[in-house]
């Protein structure tokens, strides 16, 4: 089927978990904020042929073209081993009717169908490294816009991949938003609260494809932006409180660049819970109390008294994360140096096992020189980098390409280079100017 595609871009931010990673998966409260200047962008354009679905994800070195009629909907398919649009529609309706996140288990039949497509069409190398990226893409595609062909999806991001800053969730949100538009589920480009609830729900399904059992915090922050206190509920009716006026806590985000897999870390913690249920129950609920206490401090933030309190909670939270095996010697180097220089408190953020740590600073004016020493030492000795980014800000959105700067943005995204090289200050400014709120 030939579709005329007017190019468009969707975007979603990464996140920083302040307190409550891992325990969030077990229904404990978790608090996180968007890092709105570190974002993923998805450009949708016409593909090279009307019969292909094409993806180009240069940041993870994954590109592929599927044939719509041969790989997705071959005419020889029977109702028992094939999929047609009607079958896709039924699964979409089933997922969409559910009123809670508990209804959102992946459908076995569709997952198996996609598994076969991936096994039949990707090279061994792509299967090894990109299986879950392909599963997330295809699961959302078969639900949200299976009638659409002749489309190319290009993702570029200035958010580090797999560093604990929610890159997978931001991708899932970008894909959901784009596919809802392509599939006619969303009409306008300005998102209402109701639209965002739907984006949140479907991007959670995308995260399930990547992680197995996510709590839902990462996609919630990528969708709604700002800062949220989140709690997964056993009845599936998750609590999500947007924290208004979230303070700009003085902090440093340090990226160790040590690769890790959130999926593996979550499953290692699950194993620990099965082996030591009583011990783990105590640790996870302590983490939950830390997040609750942290949220009440952040809601009435006053730098003088709140920073020492937050730093203490950071120390305890990190200690508990170490005890459940999700730190890494590379992260401990950051903690050790911040303790030695006495500039504040450091904890890992996100799933751990590598990736990023956040350091909440006690007095960033008084300790200016020590903070410089901290950053320089980590960079020179270990090659770590740090990010300057505000917390909170815009969540999921469309970028308008119809304005006069649209062509410049389009050119930058179609250039043949990986994500972070294209994000010049000029491009970032244009993207911000053209964001549809």
Ligand X SMILES: C[C@@](O)(CCO)CC(=O)[O-]
What does DSSP assign to residue 105?
P
Binding site partner of 22, from ligand ATP, Mg ion, ligand X, none, Cβ cut-off 5-8 A by kind:
ligand X
Does position 214 interact with ligand X (CB under 6 A)? The reply is: yes
> Which of 10, 36, 167, 434 is close enough to bind ligand ATP by CB under 6 A?
167
Which one-letter DSSP state was computed for residue 392? B
- Segment near ligand X (CB under 6 A); pick from 15-23, 35-43, 274-282, 305-313: 15-23
Cβ atoms of residues 44 and 303 within 8 Å: no
Interacting span for ligand ATP (CB under 6 A) from 103-111, 167-175, 184-192, 337-345: 167-175
Three-state DSSP class for residue 216 = coil
Q: Site for ligand X (CB under 6 A): which residue of 172, 210, 254, 262?
A: 262
- The pair of structure tokens assigned to 81 is 């081993």
Indicate which of ligand ATP, Mg ion, ligand X, none lies near residue 195 (CB less than 5 to 8 Å, by partner kind). Answer: none
Q: How many secondary structure helices (H) and strands (E) does the chain include?
A: 14, 13
Q: Does 20 participate in binding ligand ATP (rule CB under 6 A)?
A: no
Q: Which of 262, 306, 317, 434 binds Mg ion (CB under 5 A)?
A: 262
Q: Which of 33, 151, 175, 217 binds ligand X (CB under 6 A)?
A: 217
Binding region for ligand X (CB under 6 A) out of 37-45, 215-223, 238-246, 247-255: 215-223
- Lookup: tokens for 247: 């303070």
Order of strands across the sheet that contains 356-361: 344-348, 356-361, 251-255, 385-387
Residue 338 is a binding residue for Mg ion (CB under 5 A): no
Minimum Å distance from CB 262 to ligand ATP?
A: 3
101 is catalytic: no
Residue closer to ligand X, measured from CB, 22 or 39: 22
Q: Identify the residue among 7, 166, 354, 419 touching ligand X (CB under 6 A).
A: 166
Q: Does 280 bind ligand X (CB under 6 A)?
A: no
Piece of the chain touching ligand X by CB under 6 A; list 22-30, 62-70, 113-121, 364-372: 22-30
Query: CB of 267: closest distance to ligand ATP in angstroms?
Result: 12
According to DSSP, the residues that pair with 42 across neighbouring strands are: 10, 155
Alpha-carbon distance of 68 to 70, in angstroms, equals 6
Q: Which of 54, 59, 101, 292 binds ligand ATP (CB under 6 A)?
A: 59
Residues 143-182 within binding reach of Mg ion (CB under 5 A): 168
Catalytic residue among 218, 235, 367, 388: 218
Tell whether residue 206 is a contact of ligand X (CB under 6 A).
no
Q: Determine if 28 is a binding residue for ligand X (CB under 6 A).
A: no
Using rule CB under 6 A, residue 25 touches ligand X? yes
* Contacts of range 306-312, beta carbons closer than 8 Å, 24 or more positions apart: 306/247, 307/249, 307/250, 307/344, 307/360, 307/361, 307/362, 307/363, 308/362, 310/249, 310/345, 310/360, 311/344, 311/345, 311/360, 311/362, 312/345
Task: List, in order, residues 6 or more apart from 69 with CB less than 8 Å away.
Answer: 51, 75
Beta bridge partners of 347: 358
Cβ–Cβ under 8 Å, residues 398 and 18: no
Cα–Cα nearest to 324, from 267, 253, 257: 267
Q: What whole-number distance in Å separates Cα of residue 299 and Cα of residue 241?
A: 12
CA distance 97 to 205: 14
Q: Which residues contact 335 (CB under 8 A, 6 or more apart)?
A: 318, 346, 347, 357
Q: Is 218 in the site for ligand X (CB under 6 A)?
A: yes
Min dist. Cβ of residue 384 to ligand X (A): 19
Residue 204 or 384: which CB sits closer to Mg ion?
204
Interacting residue ranges for ligand ATP, rule: CB under 6 A = 40, 57, 59-60, 132-133, 155, 157, 161-168, 171, 210, 218, 261-262, 350-351, 355, 419
Active-site residue list: 218
Interacting residue ranges for Mg ion, rule: CB under 5 A = 168, 262
């Amino acid at each position: 089927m030939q579709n005329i595609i007017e190019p468009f871009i969707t975007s979603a931010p990464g996140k920083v978990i302040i307190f409550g990673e891992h325990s969030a998966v077990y229904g404990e409260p978790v608090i996180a904020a968007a890092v709105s200047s570190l974002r993923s962008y998805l450009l949708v354009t016409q593909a090279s042929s009307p019969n292909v679905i094409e993806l180009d994800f240069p940041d993870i070195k994954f590109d592929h073209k599927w044939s719509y009629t041969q790989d997705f909907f071959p005419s020889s398919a029977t109702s028992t081993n094939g999929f047609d649009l009607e079958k896709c529609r039924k699964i979409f309706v089933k997922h969409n009717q559910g009123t809670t996140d508990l209804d959102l288990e992946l459908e076995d039949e569709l997952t198996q169908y996609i598994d076969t497509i991936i096994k039949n069409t990707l090279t061994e190398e792509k299967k090894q490294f990109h299986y879950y990226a392909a599963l997330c893409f295809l699961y959302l595609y078969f639900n949200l816009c299976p009638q659409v062909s002749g489309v190319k999806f290009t993702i570029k991001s200035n958010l580090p991949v797999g560093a604990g800053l929610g890159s997978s969730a931001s991708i899932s949100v970008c894909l959901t938003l784009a596919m809802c538009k392509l599939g006619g589920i969303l009409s306008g480009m300005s998102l209402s609260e109701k639209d965002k609830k739907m984006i949140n729900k479907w991007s959670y399904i995308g995260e399930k494809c990547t992680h197995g059992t996510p709590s839902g915090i990462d996609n919630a922050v990528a969708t709604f932006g700002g800062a949220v206190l989140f709690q997964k509920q056993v009845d599936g009716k998750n609590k999500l409180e947007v924290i208004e006026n979230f303070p700009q806590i003085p902090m440093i985000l340090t990226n160790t660049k040590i690769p890790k897999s959130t999926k593996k870390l979550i499953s290692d913690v699950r194993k620990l819970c099965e082996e030591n249920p009583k011990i783990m129950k105590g640790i996870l609920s302590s983490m939950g109390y830390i997040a609750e206490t942290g949220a009440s401090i952040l809601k009435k933030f006053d730098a003088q008294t709140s920073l020492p309190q937050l730093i203490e909670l950071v120390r305890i939270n990190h200690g508990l994360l170490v005890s459940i095996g999700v730190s890494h010697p590379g992260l401990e180097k950051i903690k050790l140096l911040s303790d030695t220089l006495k500039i504040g408190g450091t904890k890992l953020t996100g799933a751990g096992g590598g990736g990023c740590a956040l350091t909440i600073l006690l007095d960033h004016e008084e300790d200016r020189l020590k903070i410089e020493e901290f950053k320089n030492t980590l960079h020179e000795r270990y090659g770590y980098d740090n990010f300057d980014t505000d917390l909170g800000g815009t969540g999921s959105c469309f970028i308008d390409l119809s304005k006069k700067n649209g062509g410049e943005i389009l050119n930058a995204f179609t250039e043949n280079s990986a994500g972070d090289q294209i994000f010049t200050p000029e491009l970032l400014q244009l993207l911000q100017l053209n964001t549809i709120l």
